[in-house]
Amino acid sequence: MPVISMFYGIIIRMYFLDNQHHDVPHIHARYAEFEASLGIDDGEILAGDLPRKQLRLVQAWMELHRDELMADWQLAVAGEMPYRIDPL
């Protein structure tokens, strides 16, 4: 599972061939012992949990990089390596 970005102790990953798990384009964010899957389209949590402050940081980052995230999603579901995306 490639790391596509890291900032403020948050690690953002995108799994290969992960288009059936939540049935929507999404990322996985980890902070300390917390982990959540967030939809790329709206930034809402699909599964898991993040502290409020870190959730807001991830959502702000997603808003800035939505087009890049969708391009990476297409690569990842095709089994190809997604590109790194600049941190906040």
Structure confidence by residue, pLDDT tens digits, 33-67: 999 999 999 999 999 999 999 999 999 999 999 99
Six-digit token pair at 34?
């917390």
Q: Is 12 helix (H, G, I), strand (E, B) or coil?
A: strand
pTM: 0.92
Residue boundaries of the structural domains of the chain: 3-77
Distance CA 38, CA 80 (A): 21
Interior angle at CA 58, CA 57 and CA 64, nearest 5: 95
**DSSP-based three-state secondary structure for 13:** strand
Average pLDDT of every residue of the chain? 94
Is the per-residue pLDDT at 75 higher than 90? yes
Residue 2: CB atoms within 10 Å: 15
